[in-house]
Amino acid sequence: MKLRVIVFLIFTFFIGIVHADTVRVDGFKARPQVKSNWCWAASIQSIFLTSGLDISQHRLVTAAYGSAVNNTAPGFKGTLKILNGLSVSADGSTWEVRASAGNSFPNANWLLEKLQNDEPVMIWYKDQTSNHSIIVNGGRYYRDNIGNVNWQQISAYDPWVNRNMTIDASNIPRYVYGTFDVELRKVSPRSFVPRQPQAQFGGVCYVQGGACPLRQALPLQSQCYCPSQIGPIYGIVGN
């Protein structure tokens, strides 16, 4: 009887061991923030640098405030307006930016897919000492018995100290309160036409990967959101 109990306990111990995998964004590039409040600009810049596009922090701040003032991020609405209003010429091609945001920590499965595709993710992070924009570029995770991703920890570049920091799993929902999904789209020079407003109001909210109808018309290019399982996903009003 004792032997059976011991064997059972050993078996239970080994099947309870979790196999963890790591992921990181290959070719990740980042630069420290130029001014004390420019963590958000440095984080956005990192996304572009990793994609091979060099956009200065000064340009991003000027797009937000009209000049390179040492201001904090202009909130969800202002940050989305900056991102969705950018078009960049590089290597003879034009790149447009599409972005959406949610006021929550990132979905675990979605985050893994982004990192495996070598796409860093900007998050907003707040703890007892800081309220900060940082860039997730890797982490350690495991899958449960039905295949869902569970993070043990994520790694994020902190532009203030110019190095990676680690956020343990228990602190992800505690400290991460914003997630940005940024996509760069290459547009051929022949087909690129500067976007012109076609109407003053729109009835559709366009977010990353989809859209939803609005209950009432809102001004074009203003902020809107679509409901989701992880909370509101913010986007831009269109027709």
In whole angstroms, give the CA distance from residue 172 to residue 227. 21
| Same domain, residue pair 176 and 203 | no
Decide: residue 143, CB within 10 A, 0-12 exposed, 13-18 middle, 19+ buried: middle
Query: Which pLDDT does position 14 carry in this prediction?
Result: 42
Asked if the model's pLDDT at residue 128 lies above 80, the reply is: yes
- Confirm whether 7 is domain-assigned: no
> Residue 182: beta bridge partners?
99
Query: Residue 192: pLDDT band by 50, 70, 90 thresholds?
Result: very low
For residue 219, pLDDT beyond 90? no
Distance, in Å, from the CA atom of 1 to the CA atom of 23, rounded to the nearest integer, reads 45
Question: Looking at the structure, do residues 94 and 175 belong to the same domain, yes or no?
Answer: yes
- How far is it, in rounded angstroms, from Cα 100 to Cα 84? 9
Q: What is the pTM of this model?
A: 0.72
Average pLDDT, the chain: 83
Both 183 and 226 in one domain: the answer is no
Domain that holds residue 220: 199-239
8-23: pLDDT as tens digits: 444 444 444 568 999 9
So what's the pLDDT on residue 22?
97
